Amino acid sequence: MSVSHERPTGPQASDPAPAPVAAGAFAPGQLLAALPEALRKLDPRVQARNPVMFVVWVGSVLVTVLAVVDPSVFAVLVAVWLWFTVLFANLAEAVAEGRGKAQAASLRATQRDTVARRLVTDAPADRDAAEEQVPCAQLRLGDLVVVEAGETIPGDGDVVHGIASVDESAITGESAPVIREAGGDRCAVTGGTTVLSDRIVVRITTRPGESFVDRMIALVEGAARQKTPNEIALTILLSALTIIFLLAVVAIAPMSAYAGTQVPLLVLTALLVCLIPTTIGALLSAIGIAGMDRLVQRNVLATSGRAVEAAGDVDTLLLDKTGTITFGNRRATALHGVGGTGTDELARAARLSSLADQTPEGRSIVELCASEHGLAPEADAAEAVAEFVPFTAQTRMSGIDLDGEVVRKGAAAAVLEWAQVADRAEVDRIVETVSDDGGTPLVVAAADAPDGRGARVLGVIELSDVVKPGMAERFAELRAMGIRTVMVTGDNPRTAAAIAAQAGVDDHIAEATPEDKLAYIRREQEGGRLVAMTGDGTNDAPALAQADVGVAMNTGTSAAKEAGNMVDLDSDPTKLIEIVEIGKQLLITRGALTTFSVANDLAKYFAILPAMFVALYPSLGLLNVMGLATPESAILSAVVFNALVIVALIPLALRGVRYRPSSAASLLRRNLLVYGLGGVVTPFAGIAFIDLLVRLVPGI
């Protein structure tokens, strides 16, 4: 049996569908593109959804009427800038939605007028079963459809027969094809993707219009976005502040009348708009949409905004060991000679026994021998025609038979029995040491004949679960944020403890069963903590459903995807950490801009009122630190600043406040220092500068 080292080849997509458009950094051109939609949002039915901006809209209408009835330069300019305030608030939301619509347009490219080959009988294994061609829209739950090379999968489902290479670039943006096969946890396929090879039979698991692509389109366009609990609570708070400021402004009229002067209704309306929290009221929706947008950029589909928000409040992360904390496959990390065998001799035998072993472990052994011992990574002419002995569950060994030399590697008990070794104390000691360190020992032996005659044990290959670079640092950052990390593995307790210590996780669950995961999540939640976890199999479904943030892999079963509240289209288990960071960034951005807005409104209150009443109460002139010229210029400057600050903060609302892992106390200090202090200082500087320009306007 010859040894082959040719790279596997397969059909490539000749015309791949376009990848989803990632919403990149904010560009000023997006403002112009979103302007028509912002104008459409001036509809009072749309404005009524946002209590704060609805008050501004009503005030704009009122001031416009007053400007028409009693025209003046001041009245017209105030009316114009109040309408700009409403428009700019709409613009923030329209820009956020526009970025999503660009992604939706790309996603729609995956939804073609595909005709499905539906089986008439329920016999997926029968290649001669009768078929009928129907439009995708007519497919129903449970229908069986046949998809062959070059055809588009008509809907979301599970492969029930066959195996095929699938191009998912239309959904994930990843050009490398993936394997989908019947049975196991890699059977799920997504509508709109393309089969590159072979033939599969898919059982449809979603109704028309409810596929992942449909849900992603609705999500990124904002149609499916519902306000999260924190967002609703903040809206209630902003509404309460608006009512308080409304009562305060209303009280000014009788108080000024009692003092012998009259404050015009136009001035009171403008003052109200300047004092209510218009900044955060205008940007709140855009912040939520942008947070969902950042998830979609990373190919994560959230079924609700609540899940994104919960990700920012997570206290405990449950992470699978394999593929998340460690690389997906064990790798050769060391060679241990026995009986006086040198490492060079052991390396030569280990390489020979692994030349035709195409498992990840086998390839890693060849790579180790090549990198550390200078051996050729490819088979020479004599080795290429040697007889390869594959691994079987019965022998628990593999190797190679050369002329005059036989080499075997495998489980310690199996190789030692094959080699008929009498004194195995040294081998047992090394095997036990490797196991205690969390590794997997493979014993290597050489003999004169395939039956083990003249065998000699050469040493032990150590296979290790290699922790991914930087994982310990990321866990340390999570710990600084107060998030507890828990490694879940099916390994024995000794191995699990060794890997957990190396990775730096806070806790681990060894020999984990689905019941163990579910019980652990419930215990954490009983203590008032929020839990996030990933999973891909049907046995993960109960835990995914119980977790506050359950991230199902797109390659997993339909049961897992239905149980979770997020689906990772890239099927990358480490993305759970990114999801938590996105949730944190969403909450931090909302908190930072709320802090800025409240401080901003408070500063405007003390900036405007002294200038307004300095004529009535001359002593207030001491508080007019900005030297505003007249009450009219003060009001107009504040209205202009109020509108422009919304535009200035749109990029920050869309990009999000930069995320730095730190404690809640540290985040609070930073918010108060940067955004609280900034919210106080900015209005004084901005209104003073605008006042200098307003003085130049005739009639003010």
DSSP 25-63: S--THHHHHHHHHHHHTTSHHHHTTSHHHHHHHHHHHHH
Q: Say whether 398 counts as a known binding-site residue.
A: yes
Q: Which domains does the chain have, with CATH numbers?
A: 28-99+220-295+582-695 (no CATH), 115-153+156-205 (2.70.150.10), 316-325+468-569 (3.40.50.1000), 329-466 (3.40.1110.10)
Cα–Cα distance for residue pair 111/40, rounded to 1 Å:
28
pLDDT of amino acid 77? 93
Cα–Cα distance for residue pair 3/530, rounded to 1 Å:
52
Cα–Cα distance for residue pair 585/542, rounded to 1 Å:
29
- Four-residue CA torsion sign, 126, 127, 128, 131: positive
For residue 215, give the amino acid letter: R
pLDDT of amino acid 3? 39
**Beta carbons within 10 angstroms of residue 434's beta carbon:** 22
Burial class (CB in 10 A: 0-12, 13-18, 19+), 26: middle
Q: Say whether 394 counts as a known binding-site residue.
A: yes
Q: Say whether 396 counts as a known binding-site residue.
A: yes
Q: Say whether 30 counts as a known binding-site residue.
A: no
pLDDT of amino acid 460? 94
pLDDT of amino acid 57? 95
- CB-CB contact of 486 with 317 (8 Å): yes
- CB-CB contact of 344 with 373 (8 Å): yes
Both tokens of residue 244?
């308080």
Helix (H, G, I), strand (E, B) or coil at 563: helix
pLDDT of amino acid 107? 58
pLDDT of amino acid 249? 86
pLDDT single digits (tens) 203-250: 998 887 777 667 666 655 554 455 667 778 888 888 998 999 899 888
Tell me the mean pLDDT per 10 residues along the chain, length 700. Answer: 36 35 52 84 89 93 93 92 93 76 59 76 81 85 90 87 81 66 76 85 84 65 58 86 88 80 85 89 84 80 76 86 73 89 91 84 90 86 82 83 87 88 86 82 89 86 84 84 85 81 89 85 89 80 87 76 82 80 87 89 77 71 75 87 91 84 76 87 89 81
pLDDT of amino acid 217? 65
- Four-residue CA torsion sign, 13, 17, 23, 28: positive
**Beta carbons within 10 angstroms of residue 470's beta carbon:** 8
Q: Say whether 357 counts as a known binding-site residue.
A: yes
Look at residues 2, 8, 209 and name the one whose alpha carbon lies nearest to residue 111. 209
Q: Say whether 41 counts as a known binding-site residue.
A: no
- CB-CB contact of 11 with 196 (8 Å): yes
Cα–Cα distance for residue pair 411/416, rounded to 1 Å:
9
Helix (H, G, I), strand (E, B) or coil at 578: helix
Q: Say whether 540 counts as a known binding-site residue.
A: yes
How far apart, in Å, do the first and last CA atoms of the chain sit?
Answer: 96
Cα–Cα distance for residue pair 435/494, rounded to 1 Å:
8
For 139: left if phi > 0, alpha if psi spans -120 to 50, otherwise beta; the answer is beta
Q: Say whether 198 counts as a known binding-site residue.
A: no
Cα–Cα distance for residue pair 612/634, rounded to 1 Å:
7
pLDDT of amino acid 28? 66
Contacts of 222-227 with C-beta under 8 Å, sequence gap 24+, read 222/96, 222/97, 222/100, 222/289, 225/288, 225/289, 225/292, 225/305, 226/304, 226/305, 226/306, 227/288, 227/305
Residue 326, strand partner residues? 322, 467
Helices (H), 109-228: 169-172, 212-220
Catalytically active residues are 320
pLDDT of amino acid 459? 93
- CB-CB contact of 443 with 460 (8 Å): yes
